[in-house]
């Protein structure tokens, strides 16, 4: 884990800021505003920095706020660092996975934060760079690591996991109906030749799925690629640790906003926020003591999605689901 100030001006070849459109930007800013404008020097964490679009908006709209930006992807940190350079020492960027939040805050000497934003899933940078192997529409090495400096690759998963484990990953993480058939085909084909590139996997999945199913629902490989990405980066395990840690770090009056892009992330977020928003008192207790009162107040009645206008302008917003809550009490 490394902390850095915002980086020097943009280098040639960087993706221009206008090419990256942050999802649900105005809604996120409006939800965070009460927490970030109540006092000078409010601290907000962008737990998934990516290309820095949300962070840039927060630093611009809340000129007295300080930002801590986390990302596991060194390339994302470098690019967002250049984007956020004009804000100077108001932005501190850290190479870390978001479940490392407690350690990051401890190292920076921050006791409590006023806001935190999670924009989950794969970033625009990772999708757009073909050699990262995230996009099934382009042939590339089967890597899929958000941090290419550590961890196992998608190729290693495909070439070493038993058929049962592959089937479980595809069924649970990809919600793939034909998980067992695809897993068995992978195991059989890797004996002939190990998997190294995405095009071969895309063809295998397409051929393993019945023709009638292939006619609808887009590219049949998208669920397999999602499942592999989640497994390679341990995304759900990281999120399960990160959400309680984020809530615990919030000051009273602080707010958490989470955007997820598939049902597994959204259900996990819903459960984590519901736990904090539920009284710990027995249901028949006539008066609930203060120490048993909820610690969170839900700010969204259900998950919220993007408007049709935003989806037209930014198709990647189509699957976004947003939930938010406010810290209303310290833990007993």
- 173 annotated binding-site participant: no
Which tokens hold the place of 112?
């409590």
Sort 213 into a burial class: Cβ within 10 Å, 0-12 / 13-18 / 19+: exposed
- Pairwise CA distance, residues 278 & 296, whole Å: 8
Which tokens hold the place of 114?
């006023």
> Per-residue b/e over 51-79, b at no fewer than 16 CB within 10 Å?
bbbbbbbbbebbeebbbbbbbbbebbbbb
- Pairwise CA distance, residues 46 & 50, whole Å: 9
3-state secondary structure of 265: helix
Q: Determine which helix (DSSP H) or strand (DSSP E) holds 301, and give its type and residue range.
A: none
- 52 annotated binding-site participant: yes
- 20 annotated binding-site participant: no
Q: Are strands 66-71 and 91-95 parallel, antiparallel or unpaired?
A: parallel
3-state secondary structure of 44: strand
- 331 annotated binding-site participant: no
CB 135 within 8 A of CB 200: no
Other CB atoms closer than 10 Å to residue 39's CB: what's the count? Answer: 12
- Pairwise CA distance, residues 173 & 25, whole Å: 27
- 234 annotated binding-site participant: no
Residue 31's φ and ψ, nearest 5 degrees, are -70, -35
Residue 141's φ and ψ, nearest 5 degrees, are -60, 140
- 95 annotated binding-site participant: no
Residues in the chain: 332
Question: How many whole angstroms from its chain centre is CA 266?
Answer: 11
- 161 annotated binding-site participant: no
Residues annotated within a binding site for S-adenosyl-L-methionine: 52-54, 71, 98, 119, 126
Summarize the annotated binding site as residue ranges: 52-54, 71, 98, 119, 126
């Amino acid at each position: 884990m490394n902390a850095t100030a915002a980086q020097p001006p943009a280098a040639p070849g960087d993706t221009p800021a206008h090419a990256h459109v942050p999802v649900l930007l105005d809604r996120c800013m409006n939800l965070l505003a009460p927490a970030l404008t109540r006092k000078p020097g409010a601290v907000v964490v962008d737990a998934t920095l990516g290309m820095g679009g949300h962070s840039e908006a927060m630093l611009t709209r809340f000129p007295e706020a300080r930002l801590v930006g986390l990302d596991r992807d060194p390339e994302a940190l470098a690019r967002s660092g250049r984007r956020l350079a004009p804000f100077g020492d108001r932005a501190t960027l850290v190479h870390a996975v978001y479940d490392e939040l407690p350690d990051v805050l401890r190292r920076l000497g921050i006791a409590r934060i006023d806001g935190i934003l999670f924009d989950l899933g794969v970033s625009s940078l990772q999708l757009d760079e073909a050699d990262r192997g995230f996009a099934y529409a382009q042939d590339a090495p089967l890597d899929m690591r958000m941090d290419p400096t550590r961890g196992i690759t998608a190729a290693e998963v495909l070439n070493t996991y038993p058929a049962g484990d592959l089937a479980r990953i595809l069924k649970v993480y990809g919600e793939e109906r034909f998980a067992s058939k695809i897993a068995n085909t992978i195991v059989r084909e890797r004996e002939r030749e190990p998997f190294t590139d995405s095009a071969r996997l895309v063809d295998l999945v397409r051929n393993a799925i019945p023709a009638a199913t292939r006619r609808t629902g887009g590219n049949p490989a998208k669920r397999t690629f999602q499942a592999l990405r989640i497994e390679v980066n341990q995304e759900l395990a990281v999120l399960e640790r990160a959400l309680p840690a984020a809530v615990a770090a919030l000051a009273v009056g602080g707010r958490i906003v989470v955007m997820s892009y598939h049902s597994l992330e959204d259900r996990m977020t819903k459960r984590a926020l519901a736990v904090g928003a539920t009284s710990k008192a027995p249901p028949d207790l006539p008066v609930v003591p203060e120490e048993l009162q909820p610690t969170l107040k839900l700010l969204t009645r259900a998950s919220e999605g993007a408007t049709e206008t935003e989806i037209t302008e930014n198709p990647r917003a189509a699957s976004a689901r947003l939930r938010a809550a406010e810290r209303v009490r310290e833990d007993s």
